[in-house]
Chain A
């Protein structure tokens, strides 16, 4: 069974009298342990597709099954619980909470588990060690570089050990060297930890780190490359 399976997925935005079809009949299968890069011009629907797979947006029609669950059948509370267990998100602008230090930011997803405070802190420290930032645990986001913030965000994404990582332009705000470090880290998580990764990127060099590249244009998948 594939980790992600989309059948004839459509997404339509309606704002007043304006109707925009963002996704038109997407069919997609992503196997467990895959590393998929989604490319395409701005407005092609990459982020919308990623949001639908990550369970933070819903398809207008079609079937979305991720990690063995048909998302269209879940209510908002169930969906929240499902996201907590199955998806780790990495954003372009890191989206860390500026009022919390790195350790607390990483610990956030674990607040939804039954782990004790001590176990939560231990797991957060392990996740920070995986991304090489154990010595920055007490630093707030404002005290870290962009690359370090993104690594904290990756630690937050993996701390609850979800099978899927959803990354929206994870290197879009980083310089080339730092971007390479982050992409290497994602590669390790895919290769050594078995994470299925779906990554949206504009950058062909970033996409080269993926096992598979898909191109989206005007809401349809137009090309598939290995």
Chain B
């Protein structure tokens, strides 16, 4: 028998209380792991995006269109190797819950720009040569049961057609995947020319430009040149790396990190009070026992360590279970997020470490006061409470 046996025995003194406290700590750390993972995901949105690509948007608002006439000027800038554009289409497929991005693109230029995407050359030809053609990711084909030759109806919420019709219909002519094991962002891509001719307004406008540059380390310099080019025009621009662009796009949802931290702060404050109260109650009930241990020769420090050990054990156990359950449920959570087209959810080692470290810290904070009290407790006074 050692101190751990004593700690275990004391935690079993009132099993219901211990298990309820353990459960609340578990839930707190389950929430922590999920929210932290989501925050990390949003903070890193676009992480791994091409380091040699820049995205050019309107300077003051990402929803403002840029004129297609800018292409020639951008192409002429030293260091720019290729250029294409995308436009946010919005719209719904059958049900608003079926969310996936829809972009009118230049078929060949798009797949040239995003060389990490894999598409059958014959399907790319079909896409380039069919004005109403569209391609989707392989994941989407599977999720929605689509097959090549299907007609995909999209109910527009931003761009109605010239005749006022809101229902756009595209011919599915191909599907794309990834050349690597990395997952690709699922989107429905269709012909910009068709879109530009058929939409009710905004002709000649594009959402943003994407350019490939000759060297990633020249990104700041080239971005400055591009923005300087349009600084005094009707359409000033803001150029950033693709990674920065995705972060800014994700930030439109809100400051996920701040929201996650706010929720976690509230949860942990409650857990702190709850667990501290439990530990204090557990201490008050056994003051005479602590006196007995000291009588038997246990030093003040050892008795304090015993009390602190109980609190740390309880919190770490709850933390490990909370983080562990989230880790076990990660594939399901990830599938859910991928189905919602947000992206794969991966619980990082740092989140696991932070969770378990945080649990230990919580245990120390919660147990510090009772341990200090146990350390200072005079034996004679403790025994008088028998």
Contact = CB atoms under 8 A, between A and B. Distances in A.
Interface of A: 48, 51, 54, 56-57, 76-77, 80-81, 83-85, 89, 91-93, 95, 97-100, 104, 107-109, 111-112, 117, 120, 156
Which of A57, A80, A92 lies at the interface centre, i.e. has the most chain B CB atoms within 10 A of its CB?
A80
Determine which residue in B1, B288, B294 has the highest number of CB atoms from chain A within 10 A of its CB, and name it: B1
Nearest to A83: B297
Nearest to A84: B297
6 contacts: A57-B378, A80-B300, A100-B9, A107-B1, A109-B296, A112-B297
B5 A57 contact: no
B294 A99 contact: no
A56 B10 contact: no
Contacts, number: 71
B165 interface: no
Interface in B327-386: 378-380, 383, 386
Nearest to B14: A99
A92 B292 CA distance: 12
B10 A84 contact: no
Given A57-B380, A85-B297, A109-B296, A95 B1 contact: no
Contact of A93 (B2, B378, B380, B386): B386
A87 to B, nearest CB: 8
A100 B6 CA distance: 8
Contact of B386 (A54, A95, A97): A95
A91 B386 contact: yes
A167 B295 CA distance: 12
> Which range holds the interface residue count of chain B?
20 to 34
Nearest to B13: A99
Contact of A89 (B9, B296, B298): B296
Interface in B203-222: none
| Interface SS of chain B | helix
A112 B296 contact: yes
Contact of B288 (A83, A95, A120): A95
Contact of A95 (B2, B300, B383): B383
B281 interface: no
B1 A57 contact: no
Contacts of A111: 1-3, 298
A97 B1 contact: no
A112 B306 CA distance: 14
B299 A77 contact: yes
A95 B13 contact: no
A137 to B, nearest CB: 13
B299 A80 contact: yes
A16 B109 CA distance: 88
B9 A56 contact: no
Contacts of B298: 80, 111-112
Contact of B10 (A85, A99, A112): A99
